[in-house]
Amino acid sequence: MPRGPLDSSKIPRFAGPATFARLPRLDEVGRADVAVVGVPFDSGVSYRPGARFGPAAVREASRLLRPYHPALDLSPFETVQVADAGDIACNPFDIGEAVETIAASAAALDARLVTIGGDHTIALPLLRAAAERHGPVALLHFDAHLDTWDTYFGAAYTHGTPFRRAVEEGLLDTSALSHVGIRGPLYGKRDLEEDRRLGFGILTSSDVMRRGVDEVVDILRQRVGDRPLYISVDIDVLDPAHAPGTGTPEAGGLTSRELLEILRGLADRAIVGADVVEVAPAYDHAEITSVAAAHVAYDLVSLLALNTPRESP
């Protein structure tokens, strides 16, 4: 029987350890089917710093989460063992070393991971770990930005380059790559041309608004098919009204409702891992961004619970 979160009728939500959703620590249960892990790293940012404090802020905001998910008719913490695996500590002064540390640490966790960042640099080592286990994976990338640029100031590893590196390293199934929520100014038209050459399809935030959630979900489901799927969520995919606490905000984004409904529409896809990144709490107000990120992470945990093979009794 999985061990679940603390009972809020006995221990108030504002008391006790600030693990994700007040779940047990991994060392308390020994093993987990799904693990929530933090990566407090933001040395790859190009504008506002502060996402290194994201994991702690999201955990704190997650105290309000409850164990039953009515939209999916699921109690994920009863279905499989979910635990908080703590943080992956990595070198804030050497991005290359940090990338190696994150990849090795993620691969060593014998569980399906929902990772809380940290900046989007961490997606590359997480994809390395996922591809090591599952082979090249399909990718759904929710973001205001492409994150397929080549370099910043000559640096290969930044929060704007992870998916170009992932394609170059053969980590992704290039027949099943999608950006959702892209918007805002670019450096030039060439950005879109190079992104298309890498294999990505784009559904902009305007597409979500005009075509609606159901049509967007149908498009994504068809593109992903039955491939192993990794989902990467930059919280700046949300409009700044819904997520002000992030490093590179862009006007005109998704609502939190739209994002959550799109994720729930992917419930029967073969999801193998996910991340939520770029929460920078210093720019947040009343935990708006952290609460949104906590709910996104909860939905991702729930989707992974649905996609975790059950052991025979």
- Is 234 marked as binding a ligand? yes
Matching residue, tokens 């998910």 = 69
Asked whether 4 and 84 are in contact (CB, 8 A), the reply is no
What is d(CA 179, CA 231) in angstroms, rounded to the nearest whole number? Answer: 10
- Is 145 marked as binding a ligand? yes
Q: How far apart, in Å, are the Cα atoms of 277 and each of 108, 111, 180, 196?
A: 21, 19, 15, 24
DSSP summary character for residue 277? E
What is d(CA 43, CA 50) in angstroms, rounded to the nearest whole number? Answer: 9
Angle, CA 283 vertex, CA 282 and CA 284 arms, to 5°? 95
- Is 179 marked as binding a ligand? no
Tally of CB atoms within 10 A around 116: 31
- Is 147 marked as binding a ligand? yes
- CA torsion, ordered 232, 236, 241, 247, to nearest 10 deg: 140
Diameter over CA atoms, the chain: 57
Q: Give the per-residue SS3 of 75-100.
A: CHHHHCCEEEEEECCCCCCCHHHHHH
What is d(CA 156, CA 12) in angstroms, rounded to the nearest whole number? Answer: 46
- Is 94 marked as binding a ligand? no
- Is 173 marked as binding a ligand? no
Annotated binding site for Mn(2+): 120, 143, 145, 147, 234, 236
Annotated binding site: 120, 143, 145, 147, 234, 236
